[in-house]
């Protein structure tokens, strides 16, 4: 059996001991080899200023601590992204049903201001669709050229109900889904 002991000078001394099982905990006398100490090796010398000093017990303030709620920093938007989701890519082999707008959802109302200005275009949004069919973490992917139409699309998407994506017949949250909504004025007949 071998035992190793580090001497004060930082040298490793190896000794052997013969014995039976359980004797490894028995101390092995090792000769103390005095080696000259080199600068930076050996036990550190501590001045009185460096010695540890016990601290006095801390006094607890008599005033109760008030919990404060801080508002999120400006420009910071908390994400509603699902904890577990599949990132959308075209041609997903396990995808058995793509997400779609539920049949019960009515299209958004054309904003009157945009209709007066004869504005039209396609607004594209990118979002996550949860298992229960909500669109969360919605971002404007491409503008229609009209801030009024873009705002109306974003407001509608926040409340629109979707049928979730299915993978191998099981509903699954899907992120990165892009929805294009075309705003087109229809001439009255």
- Please tell me the distance from the alpha carbon of residue 140 to that of residue 160, in angstroms, as a whole number: 16
> Is the CB of residue 109 less than 8 Å from the CB of residue 183?
no
Quote the mean pLDDT of the chain.
74
Q: What is the set of domains in the chain, with CATH numbers? A: 1-38 (no CATH), 86-183 (3.30.2420.10)
Label residue 149 by pLDDT band (50, 70, 90): very high
Q: Cα torsion for 158, 161, 165, 169, to the nearest 10°?
A: 150
- Report H helices in 91-146: 112-116
How confident is the model at residue 155, as a pLDDT?
Answer: 92
The percent of residues above 90 in pLDDT, for the chain, comes to 29
Block residue for tokens 């001394």: 13
| The predicted structure's pLDDT at residue 113 | 92
Token representation of residue 4: 């190793």
From the list 152, 156, 154, the residue with the least C-alpha distance to 139 is 154
Q: Strand runs (DSSP E) across 80-186, as ranges?
A: 86-87, 95-97, 100-101, 121-129, 135-142, 162-163, 165-167, 170-172, 174-183
- The whole-model pTM stands at 0.54
Q: How many CB atoms lie within 10 A of CB 165?
A: 23
In sign, the C-alpha dihedral spanning 14, 18, 19, 20 is: positive
Task: For 7-66, write each residue's pLDDT tens digit.
Answer: 555 555 555 544 445 555 566 676 666 666 666 666 666 666 666 666 566 555 544 444
Each residue of 95-122: pLDDT tens digit?
A: 888 899 998 989 889 999 999 999 999 9
DSSP state of 153: H
Alpha carbon distance 172, 56 (integer Å)? 58
């Amino acid at each position: 059996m071998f035992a190793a002991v580090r001497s004060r000078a930082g040298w490793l001394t190896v000794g052997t001991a013969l014995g039976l099982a359980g004797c490894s905990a028995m101390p092995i006398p090792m000769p103390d080899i005095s080696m000259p100490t080199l600068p930076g090796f050996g036990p550190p010398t501590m001045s009185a200023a460096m010695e540890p000093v016990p601290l006095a017990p801390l006094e607890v303030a008599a005033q109760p601590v008030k919990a404060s709620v801080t508002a999120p920093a400006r420009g910071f938007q908390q994400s509603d992204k699902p904890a577990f989701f599949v990132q959308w890519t075209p041609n997903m082999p396990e995808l058995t049903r793509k997400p779609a707008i539920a049949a019960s959802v009515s299209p958004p109302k054309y904003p009157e201001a945009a209709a007066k200005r004869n504005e039209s275009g396609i607004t594209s949004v990118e979002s996550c669709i949860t298992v229960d069919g909500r669109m969360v973490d919605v971002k404007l992917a491409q503008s229609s050229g009209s801030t009024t139409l873009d705002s109306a699309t974003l407001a509608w998407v926040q409340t629109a109900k979707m049928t979730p994506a299915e993978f191998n017949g099981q509903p699954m949250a899907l992120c990165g889904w892009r929805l294009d909504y075309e705003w087109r004025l229809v001439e009255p007949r």
